[in-house]
Structure 1
Amino acid sequence: MSTSTQPNPALLLAGKKLNNDWQVIDLIPKNPDGTGGNFSHSYNVENLITGERAFLKALDFSKAFKDVDPVPLINKLTGLFQFEQDVLERCRDKRLSRIINLIDSGMVPAEEGTIIPVPYLILELAAGDIYQQLDFSKISHAVNLRILHSVSVALFQLHNNGIAHQDVKPSNVLVVENKPHKLGDLGRADLRGETTPYGLMAFAGDLSYAAPEVHYKAVSSDWVFKRIASDAYQLGSMIVFLYTQLNMTAIMKMHIAPEHNWTNWTQTYREVLPYLYVALEQSVEFFKEFVDDKELAEKLGDLLFQLCDPDPNKRGHPKTITGKNKTISLERYNTIFDRILKDYEMKTLGLKFN
């Protein structure tokens, strides 16, 4: 039977019983405005013994089988899926608390009359991502600071285990019931000292969230100043998004003169840096206008100057980037976001009692 006439098994998992007593409940409709997911589908699942609810990601080979030369694409999809599983298993084994947890994995074999199996991952259930879940018409400083603290901790946990996320954006920050926010989608990650699917790319994530050096094709060959610097920039960009619904790259582009824009610039990155620093300063001032608490705006603005520094060699906390063992580490930001949150909550409580 031709694969073009076969039903797509990745869309027919509802009702199936999987290994380890998992039951597939229903297919989760795709978000028409979402990006990615062309080769996977999502389901709600439940464990028949424990009653635990979870999320299933099913790999869809159907489009690959319809390709003129399907074997290379099938091999690529299999490799990417296995890589994501391996990274998630590493995070689970290291007990990284702010990374979405991999619960189980397996494969639904090809059924009689078909030739397409369905590999799957079962992940900790999330209510959705912050882009879906937040009400941006009612900004909550406390919620935003909790999100920033969680993302900072998640990135530090990854970096501490030689993993760079590479795709930190609102759709990958997940809301988990009765738990801190968690980072998901590690399919674009890179591992220090190891061969990975995207390891040779200057940047593997969503280009609209990429740091300036990526757009100017001036990425460092040093893993820390290439990968950790990129994650640090995206953490800073998350600050901006939570208040403006724009990312830092988009805002900086608004403040870069056309002749200095990466689409037109033909000279070195070092020569364009002075103009980028001006754009950063203007971008931070633009951001502050969206924060109705002046003291908080100043604190977050200071962090933006550090995390979104156009020069990756200067990006990060001053005490680590200029220290004896010059490096980029987000560890201090875990404490900083936590302290800012507690200070804000104490100030709010104080206002209530006055």
Structure 2
Amino acid sequence: MNFGASSPVQTHPIPSLIGLTLPSGWKVVKDIQRPGGAGAEDLTGSWFSIGYIAEKAGKQGFLKVIDIARALDERMGGTFIERLKSITDAHSFECTVLDICKSARMDRVVHILDKGELPPPPGALLPFPLPFILFELADGDVRKIVSRTASIDDAWRLKVLHDVAVGLQQLHTQGIAHQDLKPSNVLVFDARGDGAKIGDLGRATCATVPAAHDMQMIAGAWAYAPPEQIYGIAPAREVDRRNGCDLYHLGTLAMFIFAGVTPTPLYVQKLPPEVLPRPWGGRGDTDYYSALPLLTATFTAILEEVRNDLPEWAREELSQLILNACHPDYEKRGDPNARMRVGSPLGLEEFVSRFDRLAKRALVEARK
């Protein structure tokens, strides 16, 4: 089954940064195991950066060092200089978008603590400075917590969904669409009482900052992309093309956080080969608009299965929220009442309000 292009061969550019002190005073104290390694087979994440823990004045941060050496991989296409430019441009874009988020004081988006370049350490594959970004350190991500924690209460689940909905609203207000909102990109700060925050803006689109991936049909992970993108449809309106994708991801997050599943593998399981698009392993004989009635019926069946994992007291409302967020027809995605207003907005504020109310009720239900 093909969910996108294969990753380049991994090349580790950094012999060791442990013990290094950044110009701002942060000291690198520990490296972070990459997803897929021993003990981390169930995790996902970027293969194109190296993660470390840094400390300063008793605080810890997550240091993301860009893997410059992947420019050596010819399978990425283009010349070495083009590949190197692509890597550094992506880093610059992410830094700029993070600065916008910081200036706008978005409290539901992960904060940037520092950024810059590190001198190439002895033995590096490429003798170039290493770009880095330092973030506040989370306790974990939603994918890790849900897959490894046996007991999670409904209040926690709904609070996470509310926090993420607020984060999307903050981003959209500044003309930013995340485009890659998957469980591993939702970071949790429970120990500090800061709730959940959205991370990894490397595949975002921004109204004021162009990026090379703006022209791609699917900017984020193919395994989480909404159906219209998989079928090769780019909606004409920005609210449907970009913000609607974020809302779809919010709905898939709700499915994952309650039921441990996401729509794509269930579509693959249930759709006939002639309707299933090629990126999902099908024959690709049917276009999006012709497939839409069956896509809608299939998602209805998927949601019926997920309903059993939703709390009984909130089952109807959560089912409707997930349907409104994940509707296969991008023109019907969003709050129905908001969609009837001028400009056909998604009505994200309604999702914020309802998740907040459900999270508070979950606390009451838990005390019964």
What is the distance in 2 between the residues matched to 1:245 and 1:136? Answer: 12
2:32 maps to what in 1? 28
- Secondary structure (helix, strand or coil) at the match of 2:200 reads coil
Partners of 1:16 and 1:238 in 2: how far apart? 37
Q: Which amino acid aligns with 2:250?
A: L
Superposed, 1:131-210 pairs within 5 Å as 131-134=143-146, 135-176=148-189, 177-178=191-192, 179-192=194-207, 194-210=209-225
2:275 and 2:153 map into 1 onto residues whose CA distance is 36
Partner of 2:88, secondary structure, is helix
Residue 19 (str. 1) matches residue 26 (str. 2): no
- Which moves more between the two structures, 82-91 or 253-262? 253-262
Alignment gaps of 5+ in structure 2: 1-10
- Stretch moving more, 208-217 or 32-41: 32-41
Q: How far apart, in 1, do the equivalents of 2:13 and 2:181 lie?
A: 31
Identify the match of residue 114 of structure 2 among 101, 104, 119: 104
The residue aligned with 1:4 is none
Relative to structure 1, the CA distance from residue 166 to residue 187 in structure 2 (aligned partners, 3 Å threshold; closer, same or farther) is: same
Write the letter of the residue equivalent to 1:140.
D
State the shift of 1:102 in Å: 0.3
Residues of 2 paired with 1:9 and 1:213: CA distance? 38
What RMSD in Å do the two structures reach over aligned CA positions? 2.1
1:95 aligned to 2:127? no
Which amino acid is 2:264 matched to?
A: T
Aligned positions of 1:4-83 closer than 5 A:
10-32=14-36, 33=41, 34-47=43-56, 50-65=57-72, 67=74, 69-83=79-93
Contact 2:93 2:209 in 1 (8 A): no
From 320, 324, 327, give the equivalent of 1:306.
324
The verdict on how the C-alpha distance between 1:74 and 1:333 changes in structure 2, with shifts beyond 3 A counting, is same
Q: Deviations over 1:59-91 (max 9, x none)?
A: 122232465942211111111111111111111
Task: Specify the SS of the correspondent of 1:137.
Answer: coil
**8 Å CA contact 1:192, 1:223 repeated in 2:** no
Paired with 2:253 and 2:47, the residues of 1 have a C-alpha distance of: 25
Matched, 1:235 2:250: yes
In the TM superposition, what is the alpha-carbon distance from 1:129 to its structure 2 partner?
0.9
Q: Are the equivalent residues in 2 in contact too, given 1:9–1:117 (CA < 8 A)?
A: no
Work out the number of aligned pairs and report it.
341
How far apart are 1:141 and its partner, in Å? 1.1
**Over residues 5-55 of structure 1, what are the superposed CA-to-partner deviations in whole Å (9 max), with x where a residue is unaligned?**
xx96634211011112111112112132344533311111112xx332111
CA shift in 2, pair 1:299/1:113, >3 Å: closer
Q: Which one of 248, 255, 271 corresponds to residue 290 of structure 2?
A: 271
The yes-or-no answer on 1:336 pairing with 2:354 is yes
Q: Which moved more, 1:268-277 or 1:166-175?
A: 268-277
**Cα distance in 2 between the residues matched to 1:280 and 1:113:** 52
Q: d(CA) in 2 for partners of 1:39 and 1:194?
A: 22
Q: Deviations over 1:223-266 (max 9, x none)?
A: 21100010101100111111222112222333323332223343
Is this contact kept in 2: 1:156–1:329, CA < 8 A? Answer: no
* Equivalent residue, structure 2, for 1:248: 263
Structure 1 contact 9–118 (Cα < 8 Å) conserved: no
Moved more, 63-72 or 138-147: 63-72
- Name which one, 1 or 2, has greater alpha-carbon Rg: 1
Which stretch of the first structure deviates more once superposed, 65-74 or 10-19?
65-74
Contact 1:62 1:116 in 2 (8 A): no
Tell me the secondary structure at the aligned position of residue 181 of structure 1.
strand
Secondary structure of the residue aligned to 2:321 is: helix
Cα deviation 1:180-216 (Å, max 9, x = unaligned): 1111111000112642121001121111111111111
Contact 1:42 1:56 in 2 (8 A): yes
Secondary structure at 1:97 match in 2:
coil
TM-score where L is the length of structure 1: 0.90
Aligned equivalent of 1:127: 139
Decide which of 287, 299, 305 is 1:286's aligned counterpart. 305
Distance 1:283 1:302, change over 3 A: same
Given that 2:177 and 2:242 are in contact with CA atoms closer than 8 Å, whether structure 1 keeps it comes out as yes
Distance (whole Å) between structure 2 residues aligned to residue 165 and residue 157 of structure 1 = 11
Report which stretch shifted further, 123-132 or 255-264.
255-264
Distance in 2 between residues matched to 1:112 and 1:308, nearest whole Å: 49
* Deviation of 1:270 (Å): 2.3
